[in-house]
Amino acid sequence: VDFMKTHEEEHKVRNNKKGYRVTMIIFGAIALISYLAGSFALGNFAVVMFGLYSLNRFVLWKWIQNFQEDKWPRVQNFYKGFMEWALVGKRPIMLMISTVGLFILTFVLVALVKPKVVFFPKADPNFIYTYITLPTGTSAEYTDSITQIVEDRVFKVVGTNNPIVESIISNVAVGANDPSQFEYNFSPTPHLGKVTVAFVEFSGRNGESTAKYLELIRNATKGIPGAEIIVDQESSGPPTGKPISIEIKGDDINQLVKVSGGLKKYLDSLAIPGIEELKSDVQSNKPELVVEVDRERANREGISTAQIGGELRTAVFGKEVSKLKDANDEYPIMLRYQQNQRASIEAIMNLKITYRDMNMGGQIRQIPLSSVASVKYANTFGGIKRLDDQPIITISSNVLNGYNANQIVAKLDKVLKRYTIPTGVTLKMGGEQEEQKETGAFLGTALLVSFGLIFLILVTQFNSISKPVIIISEIFLSLIGVFLGFMIFNMEISVMMTGVGIIALAGIVVRNGILLVEFTEILIKEGMPYRDAIIEAGRTRMTPVLLTATATMLGLVPLAVGLNIDFAELFATGNPHIFFGGDSVAFWGPLSWTMIFGLGFATFLTLILVPVMLYSVEGLK
């Protein structure tokens, strides 16, 4: 027998050596062909892969074998001893009560500490937009002159040869709208301007933050008379409106204008920190030229107001009198006053109106417009927005760097409750806050639906109610790890990404619970006592449970910390261009940390609390 065993070991060693030589030849051939073909990256990749294979065969394999045969069985035996201690007397009930108490304490701490909550996480700006709004009717030339002043101030802030600034672009009239405040309009708007600062990619900034320029540009562009200036960065996620948005609704637009003006003055007087500048989206000072018809004089002259309005419209806007056709298209021929006459009020008022006077038997007459009408100057609304058939005015603002929008909105809610408004007028927080509430409600509904589907599947699998309830409870209790992790490390909680992370976490947590419960049932069917089956199932299944949790958490760490490696450059030149951060970590970081914190605590729940709950439920039965 010893001779046969020695012979088998020698045969195995010879096969391993032969396999190693074959592998070396294959990787060597790939590397040689790649180098000859000029593909140094592929050749270096083949060499590195063979190096890792050799490292595993001659070094790591021995460590792994020692860990699996000596170290890991000790850990399993320690776990078994702990579970034998935990499943005695009243200890299971005490462990369950302690966990539930920690669950309640976690939410109490959340209410007391109040961690920062955001809708979508924000990274350092890649673009900084300076929006310039002048009174309606301002010429494009004047708007351009103001835009140049703003552009000069922006240049003084960022510098002319700043290595992290890619370009500074100015728009006047076309493409100058603020999409978060107005409906985006592709038509020219001469009273609007925009200055855009574009920064280089994050990897080219050498760790320098661009957020400081946002505040510096805000301070530098203040104090231009007659111009409303808003400085903002690009939005992350879908368009949601301003972080601070107060919607005022009612039936009487004049009343709404009065309420919005008074409310804006009141909020400005409070000087709540973090608010950039409150602005109303209604423009009530648009200049208007009103031509008032003296109906009594017009009636004596034998002319109607419809005839006067038609002649005035033809003179100013024109009337199509014919068409000019060529081989491809046709063009309307418009009859109207010349440009210099249309721009002159005196010329318009001296307009000769030709009509047939039926008071004098159909005689054709001509009278100047000034004989039956007069002109006065007035102001009107630039536009009226409606929501659900009711006029609406929105007072909105950005939030300054270093402040949290939800905390400011909470202060505004308290202030608005104390503000007296007329009957028929309603105040409501809209914009980003409204989207945040809707998204939170949707994610909550999605989580409950997923719980329901998981529960139905588990009931079908185990033909039991208690076991699915135990597994589902893991998801709720894993929230302890999520919220404690965010509070301990002082991180922002993103409604969108953290919510998605919790839903994604549910699947992994449930899978680990199923592994333990299912193997416990298998051992019981084989005749093992219930308590021993629970302990043995935990000891046996802790390997796949820990492997699943550890692999998931380690796989999420690069995404959570924003580890960036250029593998193509690594194998081609040896320079991996490693850096941390960027837009991806700002967006996906909250989701990754949610799963890491939650899964870390859920692994403890699976290995300790699930066996305890199984044992306690059986005792209750």
Question: ∠ at Cα 533 (527, 537), nearest 5°?
Answer: 130
- Euclidean distance between CA atoms 473 and 420, whole angstroms: 46
Q: What pLDDT is stored for residue 290 in this prediction?
A: 87
Mean pLDDT of 319-345: 86
Is 393:387 a contact under the CB 8 Å cutoff? no
Residue 564: its H or E element: strand 563-564
pLDDT at 195 over 90: yes
Strand pairing report for 286-293 and 426-429: unpaired
Q: Average pLDDT, whole number, for the chain?
A: 85
Q: Give percent of the chain above pLDDT 70.
A: 95
Within 13 Å of residue 104, how many CA atoms lie on the same side as its CB? 5
pLDDT at 36 over 80: yes
The pLDDT score that the predictor gives to residue 1 is 46
For residues 548 and 15, the model is more confident at: 548
Q: Report residue 339: phi and psi, to 5°.
A: -60, -45
**Strand 493-494 versus strand 286-293 pairing type:** unpaired
In angstroms, the CA 237 to CA 200 distance is 20
> How confident is the model at residue 106, as a pLDDT?
92
pLDDT in tens, 351-402: 888 888 877 777 888 888 888 888 888 777 767 788 777 888 888 888 887 7
**Contact between residue 584 and residue 595 where contact means Cβ atoms under 8 Å apart:** no
For residue 441, pLDDT beyond 70 = yes
**Average pLDDT rounded to a whole number, residues 463-479:** 88
Q: What is the pLDDT of residue 4?
A: 46
Name which of 76-85, 240-249, 550-559 the model is least confident about: 240-249
- Inter-helix orientation angle 495-525/466-488, to 10°: 140
pLDDT tens track for 243-302: 888 888 988 888 888 888 888 898 888 888 888 888 887 777 777 888 888 888 888 888
Q: How far is CA 583 from the centre of its chain?
A: 12
Full DSSP string of 456-474: HHHHHHHS-SHHHHHHHHH
Q: Is 198 helix (H, G, I), strand (E, B) or coil?
A: strand
C-alpha pair distances (Å), 66 with each of 59, 62, 69, 70, 71: 11, 6, 5, 6, 7
pLDDT of residue 145: 92
E strands present in 120-222: 127-133, 165-172, 192-199
- Asked if 201 and 166 count as a contact pair (C-beta separation under 8 A), the reply is no
pLDDT at 480 (0 to 100)? 92
Answer whether residue 546 shows pLDDT above 70. yes
Q: What is the pLDDT of residues 2-24, one digit of tens each?
A: 444 455 555 555 556 777 888 88
pLDDT at 147: 93
SS in 3 state form for 207-242? CCCCHHHHHHHHHHCCCCCCCEEEEEECCCCCCCCC
The answer to which of 59-63, 226-230, 433-437 has the lowest mean pLDDT is 433-437
Closest CA to 229 of 240, 218, 213, 239: 218
- pTM greater than 0.85: no
Per-residue pLDDT at 181? 57
Say which residue the tokens 């060693």 belong to: 13
Mean pLDDT of 64-87: 89
Q: Quick one: pLDDT at residue 344?
A: 85
CA distance 154 to 158: 6
| Cα separation, 27 vs 12, whole angstroms | 22
CA distances from 50 to 5, 32, 54, 64, 334 (A): 31, 13, 6, 19, 80
Residue 494 parent element (H or E): strand 493-494
For the cut 80, the answer to whether the pLDDT of residue 143 exceeds it is yes
Please state, for a pLDDT cut of 90, what percent of the chain lies above it: 15
